[in-house]
Structure 1
Amino acid sequence: MSSKIAIFYIGATGYIGGTALQAILAHPKADTFEITALVRSEAKAKAIESALGIKTIIGSLQDHAFLTENVEKADVVFQQADADDVEATKAIISGLKRRFEKTGKKPILIHTSGTGLLIDNARGEYASSSITSDLDVASIEKIPSTAFHHEVDLLVNSADIEGYATTYIVVPGIIYGRPKGPLFDGAKPIAHTHTIIVPMFVEVITRRGRPGIVGKGANIWPYVHIDDNADVYVRVLDAALYDPARISHGREGYFFIESSEHSAYEAIKLIGEALVGLGVITDAEPDVFTAEERTKYFGSEAIVSVFFANARCTADRIRKELGWAPKHTEDFVQRIKEDVEVALKQLKAQ
């Protein structure tokens, strides 16, 4: 029987999951980890095995029996592929329960949510004065189950509350920055090289010919660089495995991730300035989307409300408990401009 720590990794080819996986493989005790990554195709499986030297299995979140079966084999499960898949989450926690019943040892689940669970209905009109600390358990418990991602968060928590798993929920803000490493380098990266926010606004601004906002664009979101975000997963894993008394879990185990915050107006104008510099548009100053434009470019008012909501928070728990100190706190402007260049190249290639 293997004495290694069995890790089942969901989301290895994602922007978040891929960077975190590379960081985990740089852990000083990585040679004691036996990582198996879930991927959707044989081509991806071969590419990851070649690039990282880990095991893979081919499947999907939609194959619930398969998911449960593989979770049951793991000491640690990472879920970084989908923050809103209720049925997949049920399959995962079913596997965790089976693991506990089989071994008597609580498996670990590190789940990725998002600060969208905190959004209000500002629609760009104001910067909220409400800033939620992840140490404020009472405020987090008041978040309705209907909030973005939160139905799944509560399912994850239930496994900890019922005593058959130890759970941690990582809650990043908007992530930016170009990841590097074997999953991301080269002409044909194995993993996704960007999050959705910057490419989406690059496409909208390019099609429209000018940046646009809703209301005043005064709403504020938290941001974090992709490498600082990956560092969180390493710290959570390390503490969960080797010093669990240091780290909160279950209902207290929410870890907001932010290193700066910016208004929608500020971020969208930065994207506009980068596109002016690249000769795509001539005016970087945002004006207000018309109702017709909101439908044209975003598809629905519900999506508009998300991007122009406030989601302010402070990452106090990870700083306090695990000493997290983000390194990318002064280079937001430069990194966003780099993201715009990458997104524009991909848009032109479509």
Structure 2
Amino acid sequence: MKPTRLILIPALAGDPAPYLVIGTGGYVLERGVLSMEAVEQPEPMRTVAVAPGADVLIRWVDLPPASAAQQRAAALWALKDDLAAAPDRLSVALGPVPASGEPRLVTVVSLSLLDAWTDYLSGLGVRADVLVPDVLTLTEPLDDSLTAVAFGDAIALRGRRFAASVQSDLVDLVAHGRTVEPVDDTALIERALVQAALAPLVDLTPTRQREAAESRRGWGRAAALAAAVVLSPLVLMIAGAARDDMAASHADDQALSEIARVDPELARTSDPVAALRGRVRAAPPPGGVMAATAALFTAVEGVPDAELDMLVVDPEDGMKAAVTHADYSDIQTIDAAMRASGLTVTETGTEDNAGRVVSDITIGAAR
């Protein structure tokens, strides 16, 4: 197990940042402080940054069974009365998947604040692999009491399905009659930080870019496999080669030979495999674009209060659309209707917009 660095981001950007280096078994190998004036760059390693919890909204919310993207959108809608910023200026992170029927941990933080924390850490010469609010480094008590730990000038309060960082003079008000158990033992606090670094409860770092990249890769793979029965069995050989790196070279040679046999024009291109994949992506859905469009209009019209906002057929990316609807389950209804026409709908993004749900979808062949 490689060492992990844990950094406490201070409330003021000009202040230095205390850190721990944690080794195998959770032992602290090093303690110190990072500052902007440091001459030497910190050693590269996995880094967990602990952010001020006062800047993070933390709730436990009942969410519908759905994808992570749909649950984040549902959480924003459920917490809309507690949020002062527009949804597109906020980042939502979810905690571990709870047991059936239990609420899920949800954290919401401003994207501009995330940028500020990232810039501060960059100034120290580090990058956070995981970002967690300080109050969620504390262990949830088993009873109805609140654990209280001071992080700078703020007091982190941790209870059963409760977490908040407040000013010291507001502790009694927030506790609302619950017993407050202060923890002043630095060894206990450090142990909690170590456990949080090794197994963080939530990660505040935005995931939109990674999800978008994964969505693009997934679209390409789905398009290639969906058109396999129309174009040629050699697509399956290409897919198999991609899944098996050990046999990639041999499989590529076989694929190129098969391409030359089936389509000499493709074989004369500089990258026959890429040319084939491009042809697959550009292929219209089963029945043609017009048939797919008609099926989509019919499916959307069959869902109350649903509207088709945008429909794009791109030679590179295929057929995509944006649908505004009322309920998170509406896309499943649209997908079921499309499957009757031999098509399928894949949801690639969801966001809340003024009380409505906007979903980005792709249309392909049903498998």
TM-score, L = length of structure 2: 0.21
Larger RCO, structures 1/2 (Cα 8 Å, 6+ apart): 1
Higher strand share: 2
Pair member with larger Rg: 2
Higher helix share: 1
TM-score, L = length of structure 1: 0.21
